[in-house]
Structure 1
Amino acid sequence: MTRMPITATEQAVAHLDPATWAAANARMVTKMISEFSHELLITPVAEDEDNGMYTLTPDDSAVHYRFRARVLALEHWHIEPGTLEKTVDGASAPLDAVTLITELKDVLGIGPGALPIYLEEITATLYSIAYKIAHGGPDAADFVDGDFQQIEAAMTEGHPAFVANSGRIGFDSVDYRAYTPEAAAPIRLVWIAAHVSRADFACTADRSYASHMADELEAANREAFAERLAERGLDAADYLFMPVHPWQWHNKLVYLFAGEIASQHLVYLGFGQDAYQAQQSIRTLFNRDNPARCYVKMALSILNMGFTRGLSPYYMRGTPEINDWIARLIRDDDTLQGKGFSILREVASIGYRHPQFEAAAPKRDAYNKMLAALWRESPFTQIEPGQRLMTMAALLHRDAEDASVIGALIDASGLDTDVWLARYLDAYMSPLLHCFFAHDLVFMPHGENIILVLEDNVPVRAIMKDIAEEVGIMNTEVELPGEVARLSVEVPEELKVLSLFTDLFDLIFRYIGAILHTERDYPQEAFWQQVANCVRDYQTAHPQFADKFAKYDLFAPEFKRSCLNRLQLRNNAQMIDLDDPAGNLQFAGTLVNPIAAGAERAAGG
């Protein structure tokens, strides 16, 4: 009997076999225990200090989780692979991530209204992990010569601290294979015409609407779109061409903007020619056919990792002006230029205001964030011959055999670990230190927001992206022009330095140090000494900021423990208020600063 081609219905469950699902749950439960322990939501009990065995007993005393672990710097729980076991009344039981959440629901503090949604996010994340396990991926060594977008699609973690990091509530199983970064399917954008009475276009000083569209949209498309409007008796001069994510078009706009479509304030034009690929941030797409063209970031009204991923048309109006201002600040700073630090400017934006939703709901409401887009420069316009690109998230990636990408890069570079790390930290951390101390400027520099430029498998500089929504000026006394004024954010003095301690130390270096230690026996002390050296080298080179170095002491004995999972558990629909990012932070005690002990040695003492 001839086997019929596999259908989308079959594809949706092809990776859901018992062994793969068990492996996905084992990976997820391991991460849950590690990260929840780090955030002091749970406290495993040491059975034997000598052999590193721990037991976790949820509220039901009949249930026990037993594992071998090492507690590393910054209270990072490294659970030894293959050692985690569960028993119920003494009998072996399967590891199940959803069950663990229900067992821990009281200590996690998640309310009854949020719990089912969080369980949906956990299950969806498990579905994604199982897909990645079933489809495999490149070995860590293959990343050394990997293509920029192949590496992007190969990531298994996204944000490493978040447990429920691939919820994507709103996608169905067909959407998953069409629009997720791990599926890496080609995506063609829907284009619509938006009437100028409702839509606003903004761009950087070196662009115009006409020049931007000429750069980003094929002439054949532009001509065909204008003809489609003419056929309806409409004048293209009264409209702005606008890209829309296909999911957003089919699932939101054709229904909720039906009146706008019927009145021809919005006109469907067709698909663009270029094929794009979803990035780890999911609503941002990379142009696969023309890599030097811009990324396109579009509203995507799915719930993912603490937010509905819409895009505000009101914010879009000021985005290019903000990007021009930050780019100019970086370009005029000799230290940042010396480090090669740069940003990917968000060079153009377009937003559409639905008059009825605008009248009915606050501007920050999800219903007023359904139709907007921005274009972000491609990093391919910023590299030289012999250089290549890699998302910094790859440094935290481990392949199916548990081999690390950072280890493979160090091996391929021919450098010893100390030298490689010193160069990486100089490329990544030094510019961020300077932005903080010289300009009170902070980014959100997690792995997905940084693109590393590599030469001979060594990072030589860093490129920052996702600027307008994830940048702040933590000095409200500085006068900022126009739309740039919205970057001014009031943060309590004692929390300002957490932009370095949390975002760099806890959310990046904690994992890198653990990987190098557990995989390569590279001492934790040696790793953190490299971080201390980088800080001290910067301070030595910039004595003019001595007062700030004392005020925001990166060698302080400890710092506040800021907890991301606690944020998501508290409110998984909106983790923080972007107008007051410090106001919603969740803290749990302090962490011992791993470079405090290295301060003297870094200074040459």
Structure 2
Amino acid sequence: MNADIANQLYQQPAEAAAHLTPQVWAEANRLLLRKAIAEYAHELIIEPERLGPDQNGFARYQVLSDDAAVCYQFEAQRLALRHWHIEPASIRKLVNGAEQPLDALQFIIECRQRLGIREELLPIYLDEISSTLFGSAFKRMKADAPSSAELADAADFQTIEVAMMEGHPGFVANNGRLGFNAVDYRAYAPEAGSDIRVIWLAVHKAHATFASISTLGYEQLLAEEIGQDTVQRFTRQVSECGVDPADYYFMPAHPWQWFNKLSIAFAGYVAERKIICLDYSSDRYTAQQSIRTFFNTSDRSKRYVKTSLSILNMGFMRGLSPYYMSGTPAINEFIKQLVDGDPFLRANGFTILQEVASMGFRNFHYEAAIPLDTPYKKMFSALWRENPLPLLAPGERLMTMAALLHVDKHGHALLPELIQRSGLGTVPWLRRYLEAYLTPLLHCFYRHDLTFMPHGENLILVLDSHVPVRAIMKDIAEECAILDIEAKARLPERVDRLAVDVPDHFKLLGIFIDVFDGVLRHINQVLVENACCTEDDFWRAVADCVTDYQDAHPEQADKHAHYDMFVPEFLHSCLNRLQLGNNVQMVNLADPASSLKMAGNLANPIAKFRRRVAARVPADALAESLE
């Protein structure tokens, strides 16, 4: 923990909540209520009633509480993919005709029956909403927060990372972080931008496993990450404990995890010298948007470090499985070779950041007590991920793709600033972006049956003159899959878990839900709201991107036809329904498809822009081309 921050807040406790003023709290509630109504309506959890005709694309709507005693009225524009663009200033809460202050927590309680959240989980969800509001208020009170105009020209990747305001665009309770107290928030939250030093521990090899890609060994990793002098110092410390250093690995942990989990839940292992606390790192880091991943600010050439963090956030305890860690580098190496060996992806510039090494520590007490998957088995793991900075050419810079949805505290969006500075029109800029982002995802699916989790935080865009030129994918091992169970027999050992058995009609959801609904739906609103283009302009550009890719690959025509990107509608897999159904563990990681929550179908916004039916090739020719 940053000692200066902690000392200040513990000596002046009121400072921990100094950002919670009536004005900023009212603004945070209004904005979160806008998102709650929009996303719950998007998922058909609530169904707003229209009160009047359209005026300039907007109409008046209302939502009643479960008992119809409370009425929320607002103006909204209905966009593609059942998206609700709500004017926040228009939201009013009426009780017996009298206007009342907006309160996001009270809205959840008033609509709890339709939300369908179980009685025992409701308090946890309310905690997550409160924490989300707490963080929103902090971000809106930051005096040094750069404007969108300033971010558009920011050269430093970390300046942009720290400045992000919203978090996940779909989840309503998206910054729960349950487990952090107010001091922890200021020390470890990405938006706080605090310096963090990880804690190094020596862990006994009887419990710990190290894995790495074939070109990187344990000694080399340590030499590059902490240096030989520190390795020697840690080795002496272990010897002074009366044990053999050769029996131990050196492993980093999040400071919060050491003080709150490892030193207590693993106390027996600490007492038996199976875990030995060594020291804070000499290097300093900043937390990334994913909160448990750190960027090294002391030496910007070093790798990211990602650690287990047992806080509850967006439906999961944010641990790392030691079992998955053992196969993580092998999976990354396989995917890297696949991507780099594909001429089309190589020409496109698409690449991945490899998770090059990992460690996991097994707590045999929890394993013996709990046979099923549980966060208790994921409290102590770490991995190292490649740094994207060495991938840049002169004049290029990095930007998290989440930034395309960023709106600063003054209500100004970043995306229009980028487009304006690029010198391109909106549609030409979009074409460049889609070529960098969507095209490689289409190719991975159609050519390799390979899907990622390509949401904004998992993608890093490379920009040149404010224009995306290529995309870098990260978070590989836990969030990619080969949608062909028969591929398991062809995959190397430790990699075969990539092959999954998914119903055929679910396979394109990796594009339709994760890309169209999860990313492009929100980009469309930003552009329409800022009069950058029309909805038809936007979705026509997406359709053109798909058609251009398919036209360039006629050898895959049968597969394009079978998995048709231009179908009239597709299944709507819902995120908030998942979280509301079980906000402690919303997905069965052993069988993710079984956990999906559907809410009707979504009309495909590119269906009307189908140019033509692609020419078909004989099935035997298709099979030969895909070998």
After TM superposition, the score normalised by the length of structure 2 is 0.94
Which of 130, 138, 144 is matched with 2:146 structurally? Answer: 138
Provide Cα deviations, 1:250-293, integer angstroms capped at 9, x if missing partner.
Answer: 00011111111111111111111110111111111111111221
**Secondary structure at the residue paired with 1:482?**
coil
C-alpha displacement at 1:95, in angstroms? 0.5
**Secondary structure at the residue paired with 2:264?**
helix
Q: Does the 8 Å contact 1:248/1:300 carry over to 2?
A: yes
Equivalent runs, 1:12-411 vs 2, <5 Å:
12-51=16-55, 52-135=59-142, 137-146=145-154, 147-362=156-371, 364-411=373-420
- Alignment-derived partner of residue 464 in structure 1: 473
Q: Structure 2 CA distance, aligned partners of 1:201 and 1:295?
A: 17
Q: Structure 2 CA distance, aligned partners of 1:256 and 1:81?
A: 45
Q: Structure 2 CA distance, aligned partners of 1:581 and 1:353?
A: 24
Asked if residue 505 in structure 1 is aligned to residue 516 in structure 2, the reply is: yes
Q: Does the 8 Å contact 2:328/2:477 carry over to 1?
A: yes
C-alpha displacement at 1:60, in angstroms? 2.8
Q: Structure 2 CA distance, aligned partners of 1:98 and 1:5?
A: 30
After TM superposition, the score normalised by the length of structure 1 is 0.97
Q: Does the 8 Å contact 2:151/2:160 carry over to 1?
A: yes
- Alignment-derived partner of residue 569 in structure 2: 558
Which runs of structure 1 show a deviation greater than 4 angstroms over 4 or more consecutive aligned residues? none
Q: Does the 8 Å contact 1:221/1:272 carry over to 2?
A: no
Q: Does the 8 Å contact 1:533/1:602 carry over to 2?
A: no
Equivalent runs, 1:467-506 vs 2, <5 Å:
467-478=476-487, 479-506=490-517
Which of 396, 406, 422 is matched with 1:413 structurally? Answer: 422
Q: Does the 8 Å contact 2:426/2:532 carry over to 1?
A: no
C-alpha displacement at 1:521, in angstroms? 4.8
C-alpha displacement at 1:81, in angstroms? 3.2
**Secondary structure at the residue paired with 1:321?**
helix
Give the aligned residue type for 1:127.
F
Report how many residues are paired: 601
Q: Structure 2 CA distance, aligned partners of 1:363 and 1:393?
A: 34
Give the aligned residue type for 1:453.
V
Q: Does the 8 Å contact 1:192/1:243 carry over to 2?
A: yes
Which of 544, 557, 560 is matched with 1:533 structurally? Answer: 544
Give the aligned residue type for 1:54.
Y
Q: Structure 2 CA distance, aligned partners of 1:106 and 1:472?
A: 36
C-alpha displacement at 1:486, in angstroms? 0.6
Q: Structure 1 CA distance, aligned partners of 2:502 and 2:8?
A: 58
Give the aligned residue type for 2:18.
A
Q: Structure 2 CA distance, aligned partners of 1:59 and 1:363?
A: 37
**Secondary structure at the residue paired with 1:375?**
strand
C-alpha displacement at 1:602, in angstroms? 11
Moved more, 512-521 or 417-426: 512-521
**Secondary structure at the residue paired with 2:138?**
helix
CA RMSD of aligned residues (A): 1.5
Q: Does the 8 Å contact 2:66/2:112 carry over to 1?
A: no
Give the aligned residue type for 1:209.
Y
Q: Does the 8 Å contact 1:396/1:511 carry over to 2?
A: yes
Q: Structure 2 CA distance, aligned partners of 1:553 and 1:601?
A: 12
Unaligned runs of 5+ in 1: none
- Alignment-derived partner of residue 558 in structure 2: 547
Cα distance, 1:5–1:262 mapped onto 2, change above 3 Å: closer
Q: Structure 1 CA distance, aligned partners of 2:371 and 2:417?
A: 49
Q: Structure 1 CA distance, aligned partners of 2:13 and 2:501?
A: 50
Give the aligned residue type for 1:39.
E
Which of 591, 597, 602 is matched with 2:602 structurally? Answer: 591
Give the aligned residue type for 1:154.
A
Cα distance, 1:148–1:174 mapped onto 2, change above 3 Å: same
Q: Does the 8 Å contact 1:284/1:298 carry over to 2?
A: yes
Q: Does the 8 Å contact 1:529/1:602 carry over to 2?
A: no
Q: Does the 8 Å contact 2:308/2:320 carry over to 1?
A: yes
Equivalent runs, 1:511-530 vs 2, <5 Å:
511-530=522-541
**Secondary structure at the residue paired with 2:17?**
coil
**Secondary structure at the residue paired with 1:594?**
coil
C-alpha displacement at 1:399, in angstroms? 1.2
Give the aligned residue type for 2:73.
R
Q: Structure 2 CA distance, aligned partners of 1:298 and 1:113?
A: 30
**Secondary structure at the residue paired with 1:349?**
strand
**Secondary structure at the residue paired with 1:237?**
helix
Q: Structure 2 CA distance, aligned partners of 1:405 and 1:86?
A: 30
Give the aligned residue type for 2:61.
Y
Q: Does the 8 Å contact 2:211/2:359 carry over to 1?
A: yes
C-alpha displacement at 1:458, in angstroms? 0.4
Give the aligned residue type for 1:544.
E
Cα distance, 1:248–1:5 mapped onto 2, change above 3 Å: closer
Equivalent runs, 1:430-441 vs 2, <5 Å:
430-441=439-450
Give the aligned residue type for 2:505.
E
**Secondary structure at the residue paired with 1:12?**
helix
C-alpha displacement at 1:600, in angstroms? 2.1
Q: Does the 8 Å contact 2:547/2:611 carry over to 1?
A: no
C-alpha displacement at 1:299, in angstroms? 0.7
Identity of aligned residues (%): 52
- Alignment-derived partner of residue 619 in structure 2: none
Q: Structure 2 CA distance, aligned partners of 1:138 and 1:509?
A: 25
Give the aligned residue type for 2:565.
L
Which of 419, 427, 448 is matched with 2:436 structurally? Answer: 427
C-alpha displacement at 1:601, in angstroms? 7.8
C-alpha displacement at 1:220, in angstroms? 2.9
Give the aligned residue type for 1:97.
A
**Secondary structure at the residue paired with 2:33?**
helix
Give the aligned residue type for 1:152.
E
